Amino acid sequence: MQNCLFCKIIAGEIPSQVVYQDDRVFAFKDIAPVAPVHVLIIPKKHISTLEDLNPEDAEIMGHILVTASKLARELGLEKGYRVVSNCKEEGGQTVYHVHFHLIGGRKMQWPPG
Ligand code: 5GP
Ligand code: ZN
């Protein structure tokens, strides 16, 4: 989608530190990490928010979580980690292309702020 930051990252128009990609998902390091490991996992298909998901997106969303689990293993997060997706203004979403944060390498707090 034009003017979407993450679509531009997927297309390589904006550089990123790619961690993993396949035909459906793209994973790259967050530019402002909040923990020693902070990877964003996104669908290659543009979906603006979790609110916009349709039943046909179930497979890709499941694939994103399976990818998060695989990357967490590969990145050595055997002590645990957090997977977060922020939705819209009150959820704290700032980039309107659905993404999951894979965050780890330190003890997390709960509840979030
Ligand atoms: P949100 O706040 O929408 O849940 O998450 C957006 C994330 O994208 C933030 O953690 C932010 O640091 C990250 N981000 C914003 N712009 C860029 C960028 O140009 N490159 C990368 N790698 N991450 C970005
Ligand atoms: Zn997009």
Is position 80 within any domain? Answer: yes
Grouping H, G, I as helix, E, B as strand and the rest as coil, residue 10 is helix
Q: Does 97 qualify as catalytic in the annotation?
A: no
User: Residue 67's domain spans which residues?
Assistant: 5-104
Is position 26 within any domain? Answer: yes
Res 113: pLDDT:
82
Atom of ligand 1 nearest to the CA of 29: 22
Atom of ligand 1 nearest to the CA of 94: 3
Is position 36 within any domain? Answer: yes
Grouping H, G, I as helix, E, B as strand and the rest as coil, residue 69 is helix
Token reading at 7: 């679509």
Is position 37 within any domain? Answer: yes
Number of structural domains in the chain:
1
pLDDT in tens, 89-109: 999 999 999 999 999 999 999
Place of tokens 């689990």: 69
Q: Among the options 38, 97, 99, 101, which is catalytic?
A: 99
Model pTM score: 0.98
pLDDT in tens, 58-81: 999 999 999 999 999 999 999 999
Token reading at 64: 């994103």
Distance, in Å, from the CA atom of 70 to the CA atom of 78, rounded to the nearest integer, reads 11
CATH number for the domain that contains residue 16 = 3.30.428.10
Cα 31 to ligand 1 centre (Å): 6
